[in-house]
Amino acid sequence: MSTDENVAGPAGPQDGGAGPGSVLDLTNLSLSFGGLRALSELNLQVGDGEIVSLIGPNGAGKTTVFNVITGVYEPSGGDVVFAGKSIAGLAPHSVARMGVGRTFQSLRLFLNMSVIENVMAATYGNTKATPLESILRLPRARREEREARALAADVLSFFGQRLAGYRWDQPAYSLSYANRRRLEIARALATRPRLLLLDEPAAGMNPTETHEITELISRLCTERDVTVLVIEHDMHVVATCSDRVVALDHGVKIAEGGFDAVASHPAVVEAYLGRDPEALSDAG
């Protein structure tokens, strides 16, 4: 009856081309915007429990990869297999329900809502109470609200002192920029993702905050059992937390492997030098 069942199907991890232990499997993924080939025959795998970084100069197609995985765009070719099931072309809410969470390059918080309400709102995709039950505060709606609050509190506790309890009832607009980015991650975690896509989580952060974000990404994996695909420009973050790095340019994978090998790969150096000399000195 639910759309969940329609999208899930009987496939197991052995189906759909994903190898054992592979959470995400992009095969020959292509997407064009008019005449522009934003992604070209991209193959990318993320294994269970891995932290994989996606790097590349501005306009390389990194955010487009996230948009195709999460159903914002339908690929013009190739497939997206998540946990053994093809999810290419599914609507974003279906992809989210299956266990793919994401954050955005530009933040999408409800600034007038409190911190904890922002996180609770992210859990409501999974609730069953009707709007009328909620307005009348009938038992099912009250129970779901209690559950959402408990889940939100658990998620927020992951951020320690940065999003400590006294902040939970403050409006999101009162948070610092770095805390807003943390809250955005908390919202994504509240959907209980198996795979989390982070789009430039350290953007605009100072060195201390950036260091904290690096640790946080590692803890997502070890403490929350989340597999992570992260887009990041800060090469210290990429070097520290990645199990593997994939470099894109013009929608094509130009290098893949450990950080040192990818960062010194001639095609990667040229991609950054050719268009974005600043990025290389940042990477130094």
Ligand X SMILES: Nc1ncnc2c1ncn2[C@@H]1O[C@H](COP(=O)(O)OP(=O)(O)O)[C@@H](O)[C@H]1O
Q: Would you tell me which residues interact with ligand X (CB under 6 A)?
A: 33, 36, 38, 56, 58-64
d(CA 30, CA 242): 25
The CA-atom distances, in angstroms, between 92 and each of 4, 194, 241 are: 12, 15, 28
**Could you tell me which residues are beta bridge partners of residue 229?**
52, 197
Residue from the set 45, 63, 70, 123 that interacts with Mg ion by CB under 5 A: 63
Phi, then psi, of 85 in degrees rounded to 5: -120, 140
Residue 182 CB, nearest distance to ligand X (Å)? Answer: 21
| Helix (H/G/I), strand (E/B), else coil: 252 | strand
- Single out the residue of 7, 2, 194 nearest to residue 83, CA to CA: 194
Kindly state the DSSP code that residue 19 receives in the 8-state scheme.
Answer: P
Q: How far is the CB of 253 from ligand X (least distance, A)?
A: 13
Minimum CB separation of residue 221 from ligand X in Å reads 23
Question: Which of ligand X, Mg ion, none sits in contact with 60, Cβ below 5 to 8 A by type?
Answer: ligand X
Q: Is 139 exposed, middle or buried (0-12, 13-18, 19+ CB in 10 A)?
A: exposed
State which residue, 56 or 71, has the beta carbon closest to ligand X. 56
What's the min distance (Å) between Cβ of 62 and Mg ion?
A: 5
User: Smallest distance, Å, CB 259 to Mg ion?
Assistant: 20
Give the range of 19-27, 61-69, 74-82, 222-230 binding Mg ion by CB under 5 A: 61-69
Strand partners, 25: 45, 81
Nearer to ligand X, 33 or 177 (CB): 33
Closer residue to Mg ion, CB minimum distance, 53 or 63: 63
Nearer to ligand X, 49 or 59 (CB): 59
Of all residues in the shown chain, the one whose CB is closest to Mg ion is 63
Number of residues that bind Mg ion (CB under 5 A): 1
Closest contact distance (angstroms) between CB of 63 and Mg ion is 3
Helix, strand, coil content of the chain in percent (nearest 5): 45, 25, 35
| Cβ at position 283, least distance to ligand X in Å | 16
C-beta of 149 vs 275, nearer to Mg ion: 275
Q: Which is nearer to ligand X, 113 or 203 (CB)?
A: 203
Nearer to Mg ion, 122 or 198 (CB): 198
Pairing mode, strands 227-231 and 36-47:
unpaired
The DSSP annotation for 161-230 comes to GGG-GGGTTSBGGGS-HHHHHHHHHHHHHTT--SEEEEESTTTT--HHHHHHHHHHHHHHHHHH--EEEE
**Contacted by 177, from Mg ion, ligand X, none: CB < 5 to 8 Å by type:** none
33 touches, from Mg ion, ligand X, none (C-beta below 5 to 8 Å by class): ligand X
Taking Cα atoms as reference points, which of 82, 75, 74 lies closest to residue 100? Answer: 82
Q: Which residues lie near Mg ion (CB under 5 A)? A: 63
